[in-house]
Chain A
Amino acid sequence: MAFEPREEQKELKYKELRIYSDEELNNYTEEELKGFKIKHEIPVCEELEKGPWPSFVADAKREALHRRKLADDRMMIERDVVEDLLGQLEISFKEGETHWKHGGIVGVFGYGGGVIGRYSDLPDKFPSIAHFHTMRVNQPASKFYSSDYLRSICDLWEYRGSGMMNMHGSTGDIIFLGTFTEQLEPIFYELGHVLQQDLGGSGSNLRTPSCCIGRARCEWACYDTQDMCYELTHYYQDELHRPAFPYKFKFKFDGCPNCCVASIARADMSFIGTWRDKIQVDQKAVKAYTGGEIKPNAGAHAGKDWGAFDIQKEVIDLCPTRCMRMEDGRLEINDAECNRCMHCINVMPQALRPGKDTGVSILLGAKAPILEGAQMSLLTIPFMKVEPPYDNVKENVIEPVWDWWMEEGKNRERLGELIQRQGIQKLLEVLNIPPMPQMVKEPRSNPYIFWKEEDVPGGFKRSIEDYRSRHAR
């Protein structure tokens, strides 16, 4: 099946878009790089060139040399940015303190996010990074790329920015690390007009949504994570670019309960794929596992001798609900008792697969510790079918929750904190759903129930005279 983008996608060909010639791109030799010294002394940074793991310092020096050898008019900000960044990093190591100033409000017209202002507090020493603003570029769902796209992005960013980036930031964006204020609008125009590409979110708005690899290359995706991520990102562009929320809000899309994008720990609204029918079992393949023909867990434990595969010990006894058993050489699963933890499927991917009647569980309110402590998402919607254009999710879940949070949320209060402050009971009201025991680990152990007047026969209004007619003072 092919997908229709919401708007026609301009084909990007590097050979038509490029800024730099082959000669400019290959303007230094390995020999030169070996002998290359940046303009600052950076012995502490250079220590980080040793060892087997890829060295970001070695990479940075490569870019520093490349910029040294480009002509003056082939970069719109100073050529020294990489050298100055390393110089400032060296001082930070020596002093044990960062040298980036606090904040700074910059951006592109009409957007309240996507650009994060950053200034060095050592501008005299490192003038080329006096301004060093970050731009967040909204990545395509699940981070597949063509080299045409990436090379074009690289030329744009080397020409108008520092040439340093993050692939990717924690939330998922491509991060452009460092440019001067003057170049923010030009970069935004090039991204939009030439590359048909928008910025991501920052500040108190919808942050750039992200998803797992999903159906592109995983047999377990219970819904189309890429499509849902793409659709909701486009549908909520206004919320993404124009901060109107009490604080940040994150969507993340995991295709199954393995949670490869960690939605349950990081997203205010976590979409986790699941199913409501039976695990698909191929008994022949089960036999192949028990007979030792197929390595368990897709070969994940091959580095150590764990002995022969024992289905009783490794699958049946580890099942959290003990809903499986072997009977006459067949694996029997009592699916009604299964809580879909994925363990058996992970161990025997060729024999077991998630069911066919799939959808999402929606969990609300995860966040990092600032302020009231870390929270994981609360299981709120047990199962929901999700099909494009996802109107049931938009209308029945996302928008009621946002309306509530925008109305009641305090400044810098995440959704999870609002749920704690006003209670799950309020959330039930907002979503117009009944309570279910699945929302809690256990019922409350205190009886301090906030009974509502309408819950109690006769209401709260009583007269003391009536009471006193039966009880003397």
Chain B
Amino acid sequence: MALSTERLGLYNPNKPMENRLTDLGPRHFWQYFPPIIQKNYGKWKYHEILEPGILVHVAESGDKVFTVRCGGCRFMTVEHVREICDIADKHCDGYVRFTTRNNIEFMVDSQNKMEALKKDLNSRKHVSGSYKFPIGGTGAGLTNIVHTQGYIHCHTPATDASSMVKAVLDELFDYFQGMTFPAQVRISMACCLNMCGAVHCSDIALLGYHRKPPIVDNEVLDKVCEIPLVIAACPTAAISPTKTEDGKKSVKIKEERCMFCGNCYTMCMAVPLADKVGDCVTIMAGGKVSNRISPPKFSKVVVPGLPNNFPRYPEVCQSVKQILEAYAADANKYERIGDWAERIGWERFFEKTGLPFTEHLIDDYRLAYDTYRTSSQFKYTEASWNVSRAVGGIE
């Protein structure tokens, strides 16, 4: 049966329940495995990274599958996906795979086929010059940046996602195509605190953040929102009921209690937060999800707020580079950014990266005490001498 071309296809709006098929679930995965994957399923022995972006997996049978990993944009048009299909048809018997981090993986069963595939991929560029299928993203390098929708399709962003990822990856492109770090580096991007991308355990997290309390749209609030839900949505109890001068039911915001999370806006369209200069980019660092050596960790806020300087975000790119360059120069082999920061001490992290330590970086939300240092063990840096000087302890 072909896909239909009638305006409403197989759907009859007069009988909406007729022939309705539901709960089919996803298609079964097995049919999409290349024959070599089907044959060696569950019988892989080991793997090697032959060069950045190129993996070989060796099966107990001796079979080898060569994978070429390419960076992909999360945002793709059907034209791009069709080109991926052309490549898959030409080199890979029509099979292709995507990774959790928006990379595209093409697999072949011999070294010769891999070389031809690699050459083909490297030759494909957009007319304006960028690579369509840059090879890389493996081993102790930078892999693709996962991200959220941003201005392309979301109603709550505090910055844009696709553009920031493009800007940062252009700057860090050599790291994507190399394996020069002490360990892998995972950067993730979320354009608001909802974090539909769950970036909170990344080596570096880029996070859009609002900095102005909501504006209350008194005209409509009572009509379009449930006031008790709006009030209950606030984690700091900053929202309370009120009446406007002309007697309309609404809410008021205690501004000094607002932490700009935007949860009220998620519940109610009449309290928008977005603002051109208020919205900013927060950078967090030192998180990971792997259990390797040390347990998984949260990322910590290391830059409180950088301007949304579209479309290239030079301040964000600069801060990320400062972190990565200091890390690459100083960390031990196998050390993730968070492990490195913990070994040298966060005071040294700020010294080595050159990122300013401001009061915004000291937790004052719930459980803040867990982050207080209650020890006389510390390292001297310029920041500590500044305190000694300020209190008259030294000249």
- Is A428 positioned at the interface, with any CB of B under 8 Å from its CB? no
Contact (Cβ within 8 A) A298 B77: no
Residues of chain B within 8 A (CB-CB) of A457 are: none
Interface residues on B, range: 35 or more
Contact (Cβ within 8 A) B292 A62: no
Contact (Cβ within 8 A) B160 A52: no
Interface positions, chain A 75-116, Cβ under 8 Å from B, are 76, 82, 85, 88-89, 92-93, 95-103, 109-111
Contact (Cβ within 8 A) A156 B3: yes
B 48-91 to A, binary, CB cutoff 8 A, 1 in contact else 0: 11111000010000000101000111111111111011101100
A258 nearest CB neighbor, chain B only: B290
Contact (Cβ within 8 A) A238 B23: yes
B82 nearest CB neighbor, chain A only: A154
Residues of chain B within 8 A (CB-CB) of A101 are: 155, 269
A46 nearest CB neighbor, chain B only: B128
Residues of chain B within 8 A (CB-CB) of A7 are: 24
| Of A138-146, A391-399, A431-439, A458-466, the one touching chain B | A138-146
Residues of chain A within 8 A (CB-CB) of B296 are: 259, 264-265, 376
A252 nearest CB neighbor, chain B only: B100
Residues of chain B within 8 A (CB-CB) of A150 are: 81-82, 84-85, 96
Contact (Cβ within 8 A) B100 A260: yes
Partner of A215 from the list B41, B131, B201, B311 (CB cut-off 8 Å) is B41
Partner of B139 from the list A45, A82, A299 (CB cut-off 8 Å) is A299
Task: State the CA gap A121–B103 with chains docked (Å).
Answer: 33
- Pick from B67, B75, B232 the residue with the most CB of A within 10 Å: B75
Residues of chain A within 8 A (CB-CB) of B377 are: none
A220 nearest CB neighbor, chain B only: B44
A192 nearest CB neighbor, chain B only: B21
Interface positions, chain A 344-391, Cβ under 8 Å from B, are 346-347, 349-350, 366, 368-374, 376
- Is B146 positioned at the interface, with any CB of A under 8 Å from its CB? yes
Contact (Cβ within 8 A) A147 B179: no
Contact (Cβ within 8 A) A373 B366: yes
Contact (Cβ within 8 A) B291 A369: no
- Is A17 positioned at the interface, with any CB of B under 8 Å from its CB? yes
Partner of B235 from the list A47, A346, A372 (CB cut-off 8 Å) is A372
Task: State the CA gap A55–B23 with chains docked (Å).
Answer: 37
Residues of chain B within 8 A (CB-CB) of A170 are: 146, 148, 196-198
Task: State the CA gap A163–B77 with chains docked (Å).
Answer: 6
A310 to chain B, nearest CB (A): 10
Interface residues on A, range: 35 or more
Contact (Cβ within 8 A) A373 B311: no
B 1-35 to A, binary, CB cutoff 8 A, 1 in contact else 0: 11111011111010011011111111111111110
Task: State the CA gap A171–B4 with chains docked (Å).
Answer: 29
Residues of chain B within 8 A (CB-CB) of A97 are: 274-276, 279
- Is A301 positioned at the interface, with any CB of B under 8 Å from its CB? yes
Contact (Cβ within 8 A) A142 B275: no
Contact (Cβ within 8 A) B134 A53: yes
- Is B169 positioned at the interface, with any CB of A under 8 Å from its CB? yes
A340 to chain B, nearest CB (A): 8
Q: Answer whether A48 and B26 are a contact pair too, CB < 8 Å, given A54-B73, A66-B79.
A: no
Residues of chain B within 8 A (CB-CB) of A440 are: none
Contact (Cβ within 8 A) A151 B85: yes
A 160-196 to B, binary, CB cutoff 8 A, 1 in contact else 0: 1001111111111000011000100111111011111
Residues of chain B within 8 A (CB-CB) of A88 are: 151
Q: Answer whether A141 and B26 are a contact pair too, CB < 8 Å, given A53-B134, A193-B19.
A: yes
A262 to chain B, nearest CB (A): 4
- Is A34 positioned at the interface, with any CB of B under 8 Å from its CB? yes
Residues of chain A within 8 A (CB-CB) of B84 are: 150
A167 to chain B, nearest CB (A): 5
Contact (Cβ within 8 A) B3 A58: no
Partner of B155 from the list A19, A102, A111, A306 (CB cut-off 8 Å) is A102
Contact (Cβ within 8 A) A17 B3: yes
A 36-62 to B, binary, CB cutoff 8 A, 1 in contact else 0: 000000001111111111111011101
A103 to chain B, nearest CB (A): 7
- Is A217 positioned at the interface, with any CB of B under 8 Å from its CB? yes
B41 to chain A, nearest CB (A): 5
Contact (Cβ within 8 A) A165 B77: yes
Residues of chain A within 8 A (CB-CB) of B182 are: 301
Contact (Cβ within 8 A) A164 B77: yes
B79 to chain A, nearest CB (A): 5
Interface positions, chain B 155-212, Cβ under 8 Å from A, are 155-157, 160, 162-163, 166-167, 169-170, 173, 176, 178-182, 184, 190, 193-201
Partner of A149 from the list B32, B42, B367 (CB cut-off 8 Å) is B32
Total residue contacts A-B, CB cutoff 8 A: 483
Interface positions, chain B 120-153, Cβ under 8 Å from A, are 126-134, 138-141, 146, 148-153
- Is A131 positioned at the interface, with any CB of B under 8 Å from its CB? no
B387 to chain A, nearest CB (A): 28
Residues of chain A within 8 A (CB-CB) of B127 are: 30, 33-34, 58
- Is B102 positioned at the interface, with any CB of A under 8 Å from its CB? yes
Contact (Cβ within 8 A) A54 B139: no
Q: Answer whether A186 and B10 are a contact pair too, CB < 8 Å, given A196-B24, A369-B195.
A: yes
- Is B249 positioned at the interface, with any CB of A under 8 Å from its CB? no
- Is A326 positioned at the interface, with any CB of B under 8 Å from its CB? no
Task: State the CA gap A34–B126 with chains docked (Å).
Answer: 9
- Is A269 positioned at the interface, with any CB of B under 8 Å from its CB? no
Contact (Cβ within 8 A) A265 B44: no
Task: State the CA gap A351–B73 with chains docked (Å).
Answer: 36
Residues of chain B within 8 A (CB-CB) of A316 are: none
- Pick from A101, A193, A241 the residue with the most CB of B within 10 Å: A193
Contact (Cβ within 8 A) A140 B26: yes
- Is A122 positioned at the interface, with any CB of B under 8 Å from its CB? no
| Of A226-234, A327-335, A400-408, A448-456, the one touching chain B | A226-234
Contact (Cβ within 8 A) A265 B198: yes
Contact (Cβ within 8 A) A147 B94: yes
Contact (Cβ within 8 A) A346 B292: yes
Residues of chain A within 8 A (CB-CB) of B38 are: 2
Contact (Cβ within 8 A) B366 A167: no
Task: State the CA gap A149–B85 with chains docked (Å).
Answer: 10
Contact (Cβ within 8 A) B17 A109: yes
Task: State the CA gap A132–B102 with chains docked (Å).
Answer: 23
Contact (Cβ within 8 A) B3 A96: no
Task: State the CA gap A208–B100 with chains docked (Å).
Answer: 13
A215 nearest CB neighbor, chain B only: B42
Task: State the CA gap A230–B98 with chains docked (Å).
Answer: 17
Contact (Cβ within 8 A) A299 B26: no
A92 to chain B, nearest CB (A): 4
Contact (Cβ within 8 A) B276 A96: yes
- Pick from A134, A259, A372 the residue with the most CB of B within 10 Å: A259
Q: Answer whether A303 and B52 are a contact pair too, CB < 8 Å, given A163-B78, A373-B367.
A: yes
- Pick from B79, B129, B151, B182 the residue with the most CB of A within 10 Å: B79
Residues of chain B within 8 A (CB-CB) of A261 are: 100
Residues of chain A within 8 A (CB-CB) of B141 are: 303
**Known A103-B155, A170-B198, A300-B138; 15 more pairs at CB < 8 Å:** A2-B30, A16-B2, A54-B126, A89-B152, A102-B265, A141-B29, A166-B74, A177-B153, A188-B11, A216-B41, A257-B292, A265-B296, A303-B180, A304-B179, A342-B292
**Top-8 shortest CB links A-B:** A300-B139, A96-B276, A51-B170, A102-B269, A5-B28, A63-B77, A368-B195, A58-B126
Query: What are 14 contact pairs spanning A and B, CB under 8 A?
Result: A17-B3, A48-B167, A96-B308, A143-B97, A147-B86, A154-B85, A163-B78, A168-B102, A189-B11, A190-B3, A190-B10, A192-B21, A218-B57, A343-B293
